[in-house]
Every structure is written in C-alpha cells, then in structure tokens.
Amino acid sequence: MEITRNGSQPSLKAPTEHFTGIVRIDPLFQTSEPARTGGAYVTFEPCSRSDWHTHPLGQTLIVTSGYGLVQRWGGPIEEIRAGDVVLAAPGEKHWHGASPTTAMTHIAIQESLDGKNVDWLEKVIDEQYNAWLSGKNSQG
C-alpha cells in the first residue's frame, strides 16, 4: 500500500501546445507496471480548454466543481457540471474545458497502452468553442 499525501506533488501548468487558456494539472497518481492507470485533477479557468485528442484505452472524467463543456467529434457541445461523469471511448476524438464564464475542475483517469495515454490532435479553434454560445443564444 502507498499513500501519497495531499500537497506532496507540485501543481503543473498545462502545456500551451495542448491547451488553450490557463489550465492547471494537479497529479493524483500514476500506477506502476503491470497496472497502467493514472489520474489528475485538471482545473480550467473560464474559456480554457484542451485540444482535440484521443486516448488509446479511453478516459473517465469526474467533474468535481464548476461548469464546463465537452464535445465528441461530430457531436454537439455538451454542458458538464459537478457530479457529472464523462466516459470517452477508446480512440474517441474529443475535447473538454471550462465554460466561457465559469472555471471547471475534473478528475481525469486514463490508462496507458504501450506507455502512451493520449494522442494530441489539432487545436479547438475559437469558432468551434464559440459555436456552443451561438447555439445557446439561438435557443432563446
């Protein structure tokens, strides 16, 4: 058994090559072989988001606070709030982040396959992100 004490791992600024805006990653755990699961708290400031990406074995997001957005390739942008759980299937292209006005924190859990847990793709451009706001405004 291993206990990792709160505050024993430093917070990290998410790399700008894979995220837009201000995003903080607080590592939670990374298992050792033969296990392959890792997890982190990820906090997105308003308007911040990940790039489009996939996970070879999928990803589970547990929203712990705030109000965010998530989208799978070809689908609508969906709202997520504290208590929601998002399951991205293996290889499913998606992005996630905060709403335009509210920060969002989630626990991200994913497994590694051959040492890799994510494949980063293109940026979510402002027009894609703002499409949610346009759709929301047109709904009245």
Mind listing the pLDDT tens digit for each residue in 1-12?
889 898 889 999
What is the DSSP secondary structure assignment for residue 66, as one 8-state letter? E
Mean pLDDT taken over the chain: 93
Write down the pLDDT at residue 128: 92
Is the separation of the CB atoms in 65 and 98 below 8 Å? no
Helix runs in 1-140, H state only: 126-138
Is the separation of the CB atoms in 22 and 93 below 8 Å? no
The pair phi, psi for residue 131, each rounded to 5°, is: -60, -35
Rounded Cα distance, 84 and 126, in Å? 25
